[in-house]
Amino acid sequence: MKRCPACRRDFYDDTLLYCLDDGTALLDGPASMDEPPTAILHSTSSSSEAATRTQILTTAAESESVVSDGRSIGQERAAGTRTALSLAAVIVAVLIVVAGFLGYRYFATPHSNQIDSIAVMPFVNDSGNADVEYLSDGMTETLISSLSQLPDTDVKPRSSVFRYKGKETDSQTIGKELNVQAILNGRLTQRGQDISLYVELIDAGRNKTIWSETYNRKESDLVTLQAEIARDVSGKLKDKLSGADEAKVTKSYTSDPKALELYLKGRYLSRNFTLDGFVRGVDAFNQAIAIDPNYALAYAGLSDAYFYASTIHLPPTEALPKVGEFAQKALAIDNSLAAAHHSTANFKANYQRDNEGAKREFEDALKLDPNDSSIYFDYSQLLANTGEAEKSIAIARQGKQIDPQDSGISSTLAQALILAGRYDEGLAETENTIKLDNNNWWGHYWRGIALSEKGLHTEAVTAMRTAAGLDNSPLIRGVLAGVLARAGSRAECQHITDELILASKNKFVSQTSIAMGYVGLGDLDKAFEWLDKALASHDEQIVWIYKHPMFAALRADPRYKEMLGKVNLH
């Protein structure tokens, strides 16, 4: 410690030589050691006094030495020290401010290279022409598929984002609901041969635009446009991609823009699930293949279209072989197509009754595209129907983790729980399904079955009537007939069963559903008669006989075990 004998101030910096206030030379020790000069003089011996006087005179003489500009040496040094310290303080303050600002920018603002979760919202069709809707939807789906190839990036699937189509929802709300950092919006306009697409990348947390771009291209540039957008957006999400990753993101399955356009049209039409949509969608896929015979995606699209038309628009014996045929053609061209493995799994399970082969195909599909909730949906159903209850529940839960807002995967989890006999858990999940989408009849369907199993027959009938009001398909009406019989309404059960038999004379009607009505009525001979017909027609619903509670009354009959063997269920 140093002290100033003049102002009596203490300094803790031992390297200082002069007082910062008055320039006086500093002494060692605290200021409390200093006493008035008169006291010192009177308390010391003559020899000490002389020495003290000499020191005082020397110090005074040094402190009074004058530099050329009229200031003392002490003052000059003190001034220099004060200037240096002031400058250092300013520099430190500036550094603190700059560091704080950069830290805020880095941590508070998600910059492009830090984004690891994104939702690509359905592109808006600004063309004023509904016939161009297939293009805006198709480009959205293609970009979702491309970005899903990015490593360590959570890209929300189609089922998550298309529920927002046509709704005015702000980016912050979407970001919270989907738990993503960024939102990609797009607006597409087509005028003749000209396509204009505006895209913007939004920081969902702050509702701020990170990046935007407008692409003006000709329709003939559609293939390269898709790849260019995928490359640009991925570049905003990741700092640097390997050559292999970039190739996956920008992969084009055809080089012909017209073939791509027809493929997108086929996907859009066939997803309407109407007979007209199916017919027109298949035609579009076939035109795409005629242009490019090696277009694997178009074959996969055909396979999907026939699978979803089976039972609804075509008998399974006509539709399901097409599912397998086109899936195999797609895989022969490109074995990395998850959709083609998915279709092959459905073909093996529903037509060939090759359950083990179907499971392997489902596993392959999930490895190639673990972000597609529809794969979890079908795989969980197969496992539930073949008696692998716990794995079925686990697969459904995985699908729900990927897309918690998807009512379809929620109903699949409810099904898995109910077929495992966990009725209360299943009922709780049906409530979640209905909350997500009250128009999803599967939620009401499984709710009715669980309530019937718990003996709550009035509530069960109400739930099944709600399901039938949303989709009056034979699948639902057969269960409704069984639930009514359990509730004591045998006459209505018989009436619904007779209606289904009458309808089957003009179109394909699930014979399994008719059998379910007879199980409810207690006529097991008729039930097995219709199950034999279901087996011959490859009725997809026949797998229900193993674990579906509405078939429990068959299990004590010797014919039941024989029937299970024919369906490859043990």
196: CATH? 3.40.50.10610
Residue bearing the bigger pLDDT, 105 or 345? 345
194 in the same domain as 137 = yes
| 44 in a structural domain | yes
| Radius of gyration from C-alpha coordinates of the chain | 39
Q: Do 49 and 139 reside in the same domain of the chain?
A: no
Q: Is 244 found in the same domain as 120?
A: yes
Say if residue 121 is in the same domain as residue 216: yes
Confidence band (pLDDT; 50, 70, 90) for 239? confident
Same domain, 9 and 135: no
What value does the mean pLDDT take over residues 111-124?
Answer: 82
Q: Three-class SS string for 142-188?
A: HHHHHHCCCCCCEECCHHHHHHHCCCCCCHHHHHHHHCCCEEEEEEE
Edge-to-edge strands, sheet with 10-11: 10-11, 2-3, 27-28
Q: Inform me whether the pLDDT recorded for 63 exceeds 60.
A: no
pLDDT at 107 over 60: no
Range with the lowest mean pLDDT among 98-112, 147-161, 453-467?
98-112
Phi-psi category of residue 27: left, alpha or beta, with phi > 0 → left and psi -120 to 50 → alpha: beta
pLDDT score of 274 more than 60 = yes
pLDDT at residue 174 greater than cutoff 90: yes
Which has more pLDDT, 38 or 197?
Answer: 197
In the prediction, which pLDDT does 19 show?
A: 65
How far is C-alpha 102 from the chain's CA centre? Answer: 31
In a domain, 368, yes or no: no
What is the pLDDT at residue 42? 35
Q: Has residue 124 got a pLDDT over 50?
A: yes
The DSSP result for 468-498, as a single string, is: HHH---HHHHHHHHHHHHHTT-HHHHHHHHH
Structure tokens at 511: 């014979």
Determine the structural domain holding residue 210 and report its residue range: 113-252
**Average pLDDT, stretch 241-255?**
90
Domain boundary among 252, 278, 310: 252
Q: How confident is the model at residue 13 (pLDDT cuts 50, 70, 90)?
A: low
Please tell me whether residues 156 and 43 are part of one structural domain.
no
Average pLDDT over residues 366-395: 94
Beta strands in 173-265 (DSSP E): 182-191, 194-203, 208-218
Instruction: Give the separation between CA 349 and CA 90, rounded to whole angstroms.
Output: 75
Burial 531-545 (b: 16+ CB within 10 A, else e): bbbbbebbbbbbbbb
* Cα–Cα distance, 18 to 336 (Å, whole number): 80
Percent of the chain at pLDDT > 90 equals 72
Q: How far apart are CA 462 and CA 455, in angstroms?
A: 13
What is the DSSP-derived secondary structure letter of residue 565?
H
Please state, as a whole number, how many other Cβ atoms lie within 10 Å of the Cβ of residue 505.
7
pLDDT over 60 at 49, yes or no: no
User: Which of 252, 274, 296 lies at the terminal end of a domain, its last residue?
Assistant: 252
Give every CB contact of residue 2 below 8 A, 6+ residues apart in sequence: 10, 11, 12, 13, 14, 16, 26, 27, 28, 29
> Do 76 and 127 lie in a common domain?
no
pLDDT at position 62 over 90: no
- Compute the average pLDDT of residues 549-556: 95
Q: Looking at 26-35, 69-78, 458-467, which range is the least confident one?
A: 69-78
Single out the residue in 86, 101, 125 at which a domain terminates. Answer: 86
Query: What's the pLDDT score for residue 86?
Result: 52
The tens digit of pLDDT for each residue in 507-526 reads 999 999 999 999 999 999 99
Judged against a pLDDT cut of 70, whether residue 565 lies above it is answered with yes
Amino acid at 548: H
The DSSP bridge pattern shows strands 2-3 and 27-28 to be antiparallel
pLDDT at 405: 87
Q: How many domains does the chain have?
A: 2
Exposure string over 263-276, b if 16+ CB within 10 A, otherwise e: bbbbbbbbbeeeee
In this predicted structure, the answer to whether residue 147 has a pLDDT above a threshold of 60 is yes
Q: Are residues 118 and 31 in the same domain?
A: no
Spatial separation of the C-alpha atoms in residues 107 and 429, rounded to whole Å: 38
Indicate if 173 and 67 belong to the same structural domain. no
Asked if 150 and 203 sit in the same domain, the reply is yes
Q: 172 and 130 share a domain?
A: yes
User: Mean pLDDT across the stretch 175-187?
Assistant: 95
Looking at the domain assignment, is residue 97 inside a domain?
A: no
Q: How confident is the model at residue 271 (pLDDT cuts 50, 70, 90)?
A: confident
Mean pLDDT to the nearest integer, 118-144 = 94
> How confident is the model over 130-152, as a mean pLDDT?
93
Q: What is the dihedral of CA 49, 53, 56, 58, to 10 degrees?
A: -130
For residue 51, pLDDT over 50 is answered with no
pLDDT score, position 21? 61
Between 7-11, 86-90, 344-348, 384-388, the lowest mean confidence (pLDDT) is in 86-90
Average pLDDT over residues 446-474: 96
**Is residue 282 a contact partner of residue 266, using CB atoms and an 8 Å limit?**
yes
Whether 411 maps to a domain, the answer reads no
Token pair 């809707």 in the structure block, residue: 133
Q: According to the model, what pLDDT value does residue 474 have?
A: 93
Note the pLDDT of residue 550.
94
In a domain, 291, yes or no: no
* Reported confidence tier of residue 12, pLDDT bands at 50, 70, 90: low
Question: Does one domain contain both 61 and 188?
Answer: no
Kindly report which listed range (51-65, 104-118, 342-356, 387-401) carries the lowest average pLDDT score. Answer: 51-65
d(CA 428, CA 272): 30
What number of other Cβ atoms are within 10 A of residue 339's Cβ? Answer: 23
Verdict on whether the full-model pTM lies above 0.75: yes
d(CA 201, CA 184) in angstroms, rounded, equals: 5
- Give the residue-averaged pLDDT of 325-338: 97
> 226-235, pLDDT tens digit by residue?
999 999 999 9
